[in-house]
Structure 1
Amino acid sequence: MNKKILSITLASTLSVAALGLLGYKFRDEGMFPLSEIHKIDLKKAGLKIEPNEVYNPNGISLVDALVNVGGCTGSFVSDEGLIITNHHCAFSAVQLASTPQNDYLNNGFVARIREQEIEAKGLTCRITESYEDVSDRILGSVANIENPATRLQMITNQMKNIAAEAEQKDPTIKAEVSEMFIGKTYVLFRYKTIQDVRLVYVPNRQIGEFGGETDNWVWPRHTGDYAFMRAYVGKDGKPAKYSKDNVPFKPKKSLKVNASGTNEEDFVFILGYPGRTFRHRPAHFVDYQAKYVLPYTSELYDFQNATMENIGKKDKATEIKLATRIKRNANVMKNYRGKLAGIKGIDLVAKKQEEDAALAEFINGNVEVKAQYGNLMANIDQLYKQINGDANRDLWLSQIYNSTSLINIARNINVFKSNLNQQPSAQKQSYFDANVGRLKQVLSNIYDAYHIDADRRIFKRMMLDAVAFTPNQRVAAVDKIINRGSNSEAMVDDYINDTFGLTKLKDQNYVFSSLLKSPKSISDYNDGLLLLENDIARQIAELKPEKDRRDGILNKLMGDYVNVKEKFLNKGFVPDANSTLRLTYGYVRGYSPADATYMSPYTTIKGIIEKGASGNPDFYYPNIIKELWNKKDFGSFAKKDLNDVPVGFLYNMDTTGGNSGSPIMNANGELIGVNFDRAYGATINDYAWNESYSRSIGVDIRYVLWAASKIDKADFLLKEMGVNP
C-alpha cells in the first residue's frame, strides 16, 4: 500500500475508532434490493416499526407508497394520489407548461382546487408491483454458448422474452428484467404505469432552486427542492391517458408526514430508485472514467451551457425553452467534476489496482480457482486496452445526437424514412398512418429545447473535436467534409453555413405540415443534414459487431470478476444500483470534509438571508422570507434548539442519481424530508462509498410545510396530508 492510501486508511480508521468511543453508530455501504432487506438487522440499527411494515411481499407496506416519476423517486402523501418529489424532478414539466405570460418556472405554481391542476407533460408514474429472480432461466439458456457476442444477444433476447411473457399473463402491468449483477443475476420486475400526472404545487424558483449552480452538490445547502404532483386514473381505476374525466389515483399506501422532523443522530432510511453505480468493477473501469468519460463530458456540457445561456439572454421565450437542458447539463457537469476530484482525492484508481493485484495473487495461489479464473485479470487488461484505444471516437458518437438537435431530428426522420421504404408499396400508407403520430411526438420533444443559433455553435464544436482525432479514430462523416491538412475550421464553417442555411429541418411547421404530410413527401425529401446523419449512422452500424463482441466479453468477465471476488473476500455483495427499488439506512449526521472543519447536519432560514447578502444572483430569495424570519413567524415548524426553521439536513445514507425525490423516513416510517443531492465529496458514491465523506442532502419537511403555509398559502395541501399549520 502506498503512503498516501495508508495515511487515508489510518486517518479513517482512527476517526471511526474515536467516534465509536463517543457512541456513534456505523454501517457499511448498501443500496439493498427488496430481496435483501430481510438480511439487514434494521431493528438493531434503530427501526422502531416491524421490518415487514417497510416491505411485505404478502401485504401492504411502505414500499407501496413509492413511485418512480420522470427518472426520479416520489412518494404518495395522501389517499388522493398526492405525490411529493423534488423541484428539479418536476422542472421539465413546469418548463413545458410555462410561457412568458404564465412563467410558472420562475414564479411557481399553486393549484388551489383540483380543476386548476395542469398536465405534467412528459411525466409518468411507475409503481413496483412485484419481483421475481429469473437468473437460472436466463443463464441456463446460454450455458453452452462460447461466442461472447452471441451469448450477450441471447441473454438480452431472453430478458425481453421473459418480460413479454409476464405482460401477456397480466396486460395491466409493464414488465422489465433488470441485470442486478452484470453477467450473473437477473430479476423480473412488474410495474404499474400511471400515465396522467398533474402539477399541484411548485414553489418559486428562488426557493426551489435557491443557490443555483453555486451551491449544486455543495453543503451547507438551503434549497427548497420540493414539488407536489397528483396521479390520475380513469373512472374504472385503471391507468389512462390525460383526460378531464380522470379521477385521483387511490394508492395502496400513503406516507404519514411527521412535522416534528428529526434530531442529530436519529435513525433514518430511504426507499427509492437509485440509478446506476459501478462499485464492483476493476481498476480499468475507474481509470477509463477518469481519463475519458468524466473530463470529456463535463467539458462538452460546460461549452454547451455557456453557449445556450448567452443565447437565452436574447429573450424570455428562448431562456425558458433552453432552461431544462441547461439545468440537466449543469447537474451532470458538476457531478462529473466532483467524481473526478473524488477519484483523485482518495487515489481510487491506485486503490483499485492494489485490490486487483491482491485478487490476482489469490487466483494464482489457489489451484482450483486458477484453473477456472487464471486468465481473468489478463483478459480484463486486454479488453480495456481495446476500449481505451477507441475512447475519443466512441464518446463523440455517443454525444453527437444529444448535442445537436437537428442531427437528432435527422436521425429520427432517416429511421422512419428507411422503415417506410422497406414496406411493400401496398402497405406504405398504412405504415405511415400508424407511425407518423409517434414520430411527430418525438420530434416535438426535441424542438421544445431547440434553438438554431445554439445548434450551429455546438455542432461546430463537435465537428472540430472530430477533426482532431488520431488516424485510428476518425469519424468518416466528418472526413468527407474536410480535407486533411487544409484549413479545417474554415471548411467546417462553410459546411455549416451551407447546410444549416438550406435545410428545412430547422422549421418545425414545415416538417410537420409538409415533410410528414404523406409517404411520398418524406421519401422524396433529402438534404445535407440527412446525408450527414446517414454517414454517422452507417459508421455506428459498421462498428456495432465489434462493440457487441466487446460487450459480450465484458459481460462474462464482470460476472467472473464478482464470483472470484466473493471467494477471495468470503462474502457476498449488495448488487450495484440499476434503477430498481432499493432501501438504504443511516443517521442524521454531520462530517469533516477537511482538516479542522466540521459541517453540522442542519441549515436554517438564517443561512438563506446570510447568503442573500452576498449579492450573488443565485442567492436571491423572495422578500417574504426575510419578513417572516424577522418576525420569527415560524408557526409550529421551528426546531427548538436552533430557534429557526431547518431547511436542509445531512445523513450518511448511501444514495445516487435516481434517489432524487426519495422520501426520507424516521424510525417509525414517517416522512421527515425529501432527498435531493449529495455533498461534493459524495459524488464519488457511484464508484465508492465511505462513512467519512459520503453524505446525502435532503430538504427538511419542516421547511416544506413552512414555505407551503406561510409563503404560498397552500394550507389546503397541509390539510390533505393531515398536518396542522
Structure 2
Amino acid sequence: MNKKTLLITLLLCGGLAQYAYKTPEEGMFPLSEIHKVDLKKAGLKIDQNEVYNPNGISLVDALVNVGGCTGSFVSNEGLIITNHHCAFSAVQLASTPEKDYLNNGFVAKSNEEEIEAKGLTCRITDSYEDVSDKVLGAVAQIDDPATRLQLINNAMKNIALEAEKNDPSIKAEVSEMFIGKSYVLFKYKTIQDVRLVYIPNRKVGEYGGETDNWVWPRHTGDYSFMRAYVGKDGKPAKYSKDNIPYTPKKFLKVNPAGTNEEDFVFILGYPGRTFRHRPAQFIAYQQEFVLPYTSDLYDFQNATMENAGKKDKTTELKLATRIKRNANVMKNYRGKLQGLKAIDLVAQKKQEDAALAEFINGNTEVKAQYGSLMSNIDQLYKQINGDANRDLWLTQIYTSTSLLNVSKQINAFKTALSSQPNAQKESFFNENVSKLKQSLNGIYESYDIDVDRKILKKMLSDASAFNTIQRVSAVDKITSKGSNNETMINDFINDSFGLSKLKDQNYVFSTLLKSSKSINDYNDAILEFEKGIAKQIADLKPEKDRRDGVLNKLMGDYVNVKEKFLKKGFIPDANSTLRLTYGHVRGYSPADATYMAPYTSIKGILEKGASGKPEFAYPNEIKTLWEAKDFGPFAKKDLNDVPVSFLYNMDTTGGNSGSPIMNANGELIGVNFDRAYGATINDYAWNESYSRSIGVDIRYVLWVASKIDKADFLLKEMGVKL
C-alpha cells in the first residue's frame, strides 16, 4: 500500500480530515447491534438489558411509531408524548374556523373530551429476526439485475406474509438494512385508535416558525400529547367511543429535574433514511439535482399556497399542513446543500473511492470479484444523471397538483374496473368505491383550485424546457399545438380546469362515483393528460427496474469490499426501524470565535419577541409568569430560569422527531425535534464537531402544561409532583 493510499485509509478510519474529534457516539444502532455498544462505559447507570431485552420487558417497549414520527408512552393509560409537528396534520383536520385548535391549542380534561387523531396510528415493535439468508438465497443463481431485484422484493413480501399468517395480530415488514446485503423481519403491533389529548398553543408549539426551523438557539415547545385506545378485549380496534385506553407493557418515568451540561443521554426512536455508505456519485447526484430541484419547487409551492391562504380562514387551515411539510423539507435540503459544499463531501468521497479502487486493483483475489465495481458504479450514475430532470419532475408531479392526483386515482380505478368481467363490474365497484372515496377525501382536504392552476403551470413550463432526451410526452402534446409554449400551457389549464368536474368534490362523490357506469362514462382533459403521464412512467419502468436492480447489487458489493478494505463492519444506514443513539448534552462552535451554549431559556423567548416579528409572538402569560419568577419546581438553578430547548451530540435524522431523550437512569428528560443547521447533512455524514440535535426540555413542557394550560391532571397521571 503506497503512502497516498495509507493516508486516505487513515482518514477513512479516523473521520474527516478537518475534524480531529474522536467520534465514539456516531451511529444509529439497530436492536440487533445494541449488545455491541458499551453503554455502561459511556455513562448509563441502569443495566443495559433494561434498555433492550429480547427476552423480557425493557424501555424499547415504551416506544411507538406515530404518524411517521416517534413517540413514547408516559403512563399506564396509553398516554403518549411526541412532537407538536407530528400531531399537526391531525390537529388541522380537527380544526374549524370556529374551533381553531391548530392555532389556539387544545386540552382535554377528561377521556370523553379527547378528539380522534384522524390519519394517525401507533406502531409498536414486537420482535425482529435476521432473514438475510432467506432473501438472498432466492437470488443466489440469478444474474439479471431487474429479475434479481424483483425476486428479492418478492422474497421480502412473502416472508412478511408468512409471518402475518402465523400471527394475524401483527403487521410484518422485511427491512433492507444494507442495500443488497442484509435483511431483517420486523413484527409490529398496530393501534388504530389514537386521540388528541393536549396540544399547546401554536405560539408555543411552533414558536419561531420557519425563521428558527433548523436553527440554534431555539425556543420551541415542540410537544403534544395523545392517547392510544383499544377495544374492550385489549386488541387493536378502529375508533369507537366504546374503546378503552391501551395499557402498554412499559411506560417511561418522567424526571422533572432534567439534565445538566455533559450529562449522558440516549434516544430510542425510528430514524428515517440515511445514506452514509454510498459512493461519491450518489452524493454528487443529491447535490447537483435532488436537493436544489426539490427545495426550489417547494419554495414556489409555499409562496403560492401562502398567498392563497390569505383568501379566508378555511383555505388557510386546509393548506397549513402541506405548507409546513414543504417548508421543513425546503430548509432541510438547503441546509444539506450548504453543509455538503462546506465540507466538500463529494471530493472526500472521491478520495475514499480512489483508495478503494486502488485496494481492489492491488489484490488479485479481490480484483477477480470486484474489479469492475467502481467503473460500473460510475457508468450507472452517468445514466441516472442523464435523466435526472425528467425523473425528478415525474416524481413530484402528482404531489404538486391535487387534481392530477385525483385523476390518477380515478383512472387507476377505471382501469381495474374495466378488467373485470361484465357480470362482476358492479360488485367490484361496490366493494372498492369506499376505499377510493377515502383516498380522494384526503386529497380534497388540502385542495385549492387557484393553487393547483399556478403550480401546474410551473410544472408544465419546466417540462417544456427539458432537453430532447428528457421530454415529457404529455406536455409535448400540449405545446405542439402552437408556436408559443406559454400560450399553449395557459390555454390548456384554463380549458381543462374550466370544464373538469373533478374540481367539485360533491359531484365526484355523489354523481361520478354513484355507479360503475357513471365513472366509466366520465372523461375530461385532465384525465387524458394524466393517462399520458402514467403511460410514460409505465414505458420507463423496465429501464428503471433494471437500474434499480443494478444499483442494489452494486451497493451490496460496495459495502462488502469496503469492509474488506477497512477490516471492520459498519452500522447499517437508518431505514425507519427502531434504533438507539447516545451521547452527551453539549454545546458547540459552528464558526470561528463562536460558541453555542447547550440550553435556552424563557428569557430568550421574550428577547426574540421584542423584535415584533409575528413568528416570535408568544402567549402573554409567559411574560407575566417570567417577570414574577413563577417557575414552580421547573427552574434550572444555574440559569435561574426554565430551560426551553437543549443541545446534544447524538446521531439523529428525520423520523427521530418525537423521540424520547432519556438520562442515565432511563428517565424521560426531553423530546427530540430538530437538528442545528449544520447537522442537516447527518443523512450523508456525521461528525461530533458540527452534528448537534435539538430537543424540548421536559421542564418547559411541564411548566407550560401546569402554569399556562392548567393541565395539572396530566402531570399527575405521569407521576410528576408539583
> Could you say which TM-score interval applies, normalised by the shorter chain?
over 0.9
Q: Kindly state the Cα deviation for residue 271 of structure 1 after the two structures are TM-superposed.
A: 0.2
Report the counterpart of residue 585 of structure 1 in structure 2. 582
Which of residues 237, 240, 252 is equivalent to 2:237?
240
Letter in 1 for 2:499: L
Which of residues 581, 597, 616 is equivalent to 1:600?
597
Letter in 2 for 1:385: K
Report the counterpart of residue 272 of structure 1 in structure 2. 269
Per the alignment, in what secondary structure is the counterpart of residue 633 of structure 2? coil
Which of residues 51, 54, 60 is equivalent to 1:54?
51
Q: Kindly state the Cα deviation for residue 338 of structure 1 after the two structures are TM-superposed.
A: 0.3
1:89 aligns with 2:86: yes
Per the alignment, in what secondary structure is the counterpart of residue 123 of structure 2? strand
Which of residues 167, 170, 187 is equivalent to 1:170?
167
Q: Structure 1: 5+ residue runs without aligned partners?
A: 18-25
Q: Distance in 1 between matches of 2:51 and 2:18?
A: 36
Per the alignment, in what secondary structure is the counterpart of residue 228 of structure 2? strand
Which of residues 445, 448, 452 is equivalent to 1:448?
445
Q: Distance in 2 between matches of 1:10 and 1:309?
A: 43
1:220 aligns with 2:227: no
Q: Kindly state the Cα deviation for residue 430 of structure 1 after the two structures are TM-superposed.
A: 1.2
Q: Distance in 1 between matches of 2:459 and 2:47?
A: 55
1:711 aligns with 2:718: no
- TM-score scaled to structure 2, two decimals? 0.98
Which of residues 652, 655, 660 is equivalent to 2:652?
655
Q: Distance in 2 between matches of 1:541 and 1:79?
A: 50
Q: Distance in 2 between matches of 1:401 and 1:368?
A: 48
Which of residues 681, 690, 693 is equivalent to 1:693?
690
Letter in 2 for 1:443: L
Report the counterpart of residue 639 of structure 1 in structure 2. 636
Q: Kindly state the Cα deviation for residue 12 of structure 1 after the two structures are TM-superposed.
A: 2.3
Q: Kindly state the Cα deviation for residue 483 of structure 1 after the two structures are TM-superposed.
A: 2.2
- TM-score scaled to structure 1, two decimals? 0.97
Which of residues 15, 19, 28 is equivalent to 1:12?
19
Q: Kindly state the Cα deviation for residue 485 of structure 1 after the two structures are TM-superposed.
A: 7.9
Q: Distance in 2 between matches of 1:492 and 1:235?
A: 57
Q: Distance in 2 between matches of 1:561 and 1:484?
A: 49
Which of residues 573, 588, 599 is equivalent to 2:570?
573
Q: Distance in 2 between matches of 1:718 and 1:637?
A: 12
**Equivalent residues in 2 for 1:401-550, closer than 5 Å:** 401-483=398-480, 486-550=483-547
Which of residues 379, 383, 388 is equivalent to 2:380?
383
Q: Kindly state the Cα deviation for residue 361 of structure 1 after the two structures are TM-superposed.
A: 0.4
Q: Kindly state the Cα deviation for residue 9 of structure 1 after the two structures are TM-superposed.
A: 5.2
Per the alignment, in what secondary structure is the counterpart of residue 634 of structure 2? coil
Per the alignment, in what secondary structure is the counterpart of residue 590 of structure 2? strand
Per the alignment, in what secondary structure is the counterpart of residue 583 of structure 1? strand
CA RMSD of aligned residues (A): 1.3
Q: Kindly state the Cα deviation for residue 63 of structure 1 after the two structures are TM-superposed.
A: 0.2
Letter in 2 for 1:635: G
Aligned pair count?
713
Q: Distance in 2 between matches of 1:131 and 1:459?
A: 44
Q: Distance in 2 between matches of 1:538 and 1:56?
A: 50
1:350 aligns with 2:357: no
Q: Kindly state the Cα deviation for residue 429 of structure 1 after the two structures are TM-superposed.
A: 1.2
Q: Distance in 2 between matches of 1:142 and 1:434?
A: 37
Q: Distance in 1 between matches of 2:563 and 2:633?
A: 51
Letter in 2 for 1:588: V
- Structure 1, residues 123-166: CA drift from partner, whole Å, max 9, x if none? 00000000000000010110000000000000000000000000
Report the counterpart of residue 720 of structure 1 in structure 2. 717
Letter in 1 for 2:461: L
Q: Distance in 1 between matches of 2:72 and 2:457?
A: 43
Letter in 1 for 2:102: L
Letter in 1 for 2:472: V
Report the counterpart of residue 63 of structure 2 in structure 1. 66
Q: Distance in 1 between matches of 2:310 and 2:397?
A: 25
Q: Distance in 2 between matches of 1:488 and 1:279?
A: 42
Q: Distance in 2 between matches of 1:346 and 1:485?
A: 48
Per the alignment, in what secondary structure is the counterpart of residue 74 of structure 1? strand
Letter in 2 for 1:195: Q
Letter in 2 for 1:12: Y
Letter in 1 for 2:19: S
Per the alignment, in what secondary structure is the counterpart of residue 574 of structure 1? coil
Q: Kindly state the Cα deviation for residue 724 of structure 1 after the two structures are TM-superposed.
A: 1.2
Q: Distance in 2 between matches of 1:554 and 1:461?
A: 32
Q: Kindly state the Cα deviation for residue 616 of structure 1 after the two structures are TM-superposed.
A: 1.1
Q: Kindly state the Cα deviation for residue 426 of structure 1 after the two structures are TM-superposed.
A: 1.0
- Structure 1, residues 67-126: CA drift from partner, whole Å, max 9, x if none? 000000000000000000000000000000000000000000000011000000000000
Per the alignment, in what secondary structure is the counterpart of residue 129 of structure 1? strand
Which of residues 327, 330, 338 is equivalent to 2:324?
327
1:338 aligns with 2:345: no
- Structure 1, residues 35-94: CA drift from partner, whole Å, max 9, x if none? 000000000000000111000010000000000000000000000000000000000000
Q: Distance in 1 between matches of 2:587 and 2:373?
A: 41
Report the counterpart of residue 359 of structure 2 in structure 1. 362
- Structure 1, residues 364-419: CA drift from partner, whole Å, max 9, x if none? 00000000000000000000000000000000000000000000000000000100
* Contact 2:25–2:651, Cα closer than 8 Å, also in 1: no
Q: Distance in 2 between matches of 1:119 and 1:617?
A: 30
* Contact 2:273–2:575, Cα closer than 8 Å, also in 1: yes
Report the counterpart of residue 186 of structure 1 in structure 2. 183
Q: Kindly state the Cα deviation for residue 10 of structure 1 after the two structures are TM-superposed.
A: 5.7
CA separation of 1:10 and 1:165: change in aligned 2, threshold 3 A: closer
Q: Kindly state the Cα deviation for residue 539 of structure 1 after the two structures are TM-superposed.
A: 0.2
Which of residues 678, 683, 686 is equivalent to 1:681?
678
Q: Kindly state the Cα deviation for residue 11 of structure 1 after the two structures are TM-superposed.
A: 4.8
1:158 aligns with 2:155: yes
Per the alignment, in what secondary structure is the counterpart of residue 288 of structure 2? helix
Report the counterpart of residue 624 of structure 2 in structure 1. 627
Q: Distance in 2 between matches of 1:486 and 1:194?
A: 57
Q: Structure 2: 5+ residue runs without aligned partners?
A: none
Report the counterpart of residue 200 of structure 1 in structure 2. 197
Report the counterpart of residue 259 of structure 1 in structure 2. 256
- Runs of 4+ residues over 6 Å off in structure 1: none
1:139 aligns with 2:136: yes
CA separation of 1:152 and 1:10: change in aligned 2, threshold 3 A: closer
Per the alignment, in what secondary structure is the counterpart of residue 507 of structure 2? helix
* Contact 2:478–2:489, Cα closer than 8 Å, also in 1: yes
- Structure 1, residues 226-285: CA drift from partner, whole Å, max 9, x if none? 000000000000000000000000000000000000000000000000000000000000
Report the counterpart of residue 287 of structure 2 in structure 1. 290
Q: Kindly state the Cα deviation for residue 28 of structure 1 after the two structures are TM-superposed.
A: 4.0
Q: Kindly state the Cα deviation for residue 27 of structure 1 after the two structures are TM-superposed.
A: 1.7
Letter in 2 for 1:318: T
Letter in 2 for 1:278: F
Report the counterpart of residue 21 of structure 1 in structure 2. none
Report the counterpart of residue 665 of structure 2 in structure 1. 668
- Structure 1, residues 513-554: CA drift from partner, whole Å, max 9, x if none? 000000000000000010000000000000000000000000
Q: Distance in 2 between matches of 1:182 and 1:609?
A: 48
* Contact 2:76–2:248, Cα closer than 8 Å, also in 1: yes
Report the counterpart of residue 20 of structure 1 in structure 2. none
Q: Distance in 1 between matches of 2:257 and 2:85?
A: 25
Q: Kindly state the Cα deviation for residue 487 of structure 1 after the two structures are TM-superposed.
A: 1.0
Letter in 2 for 1:660: S
Q: Distance in 2 between matches of 1:530 and 1:643?
A: 63
Q: Distance in 2 between matches of 1:66 and 1:12?
A: 34
Letter in 1 for 2:322: R
Letter in 1 for 2:457: K
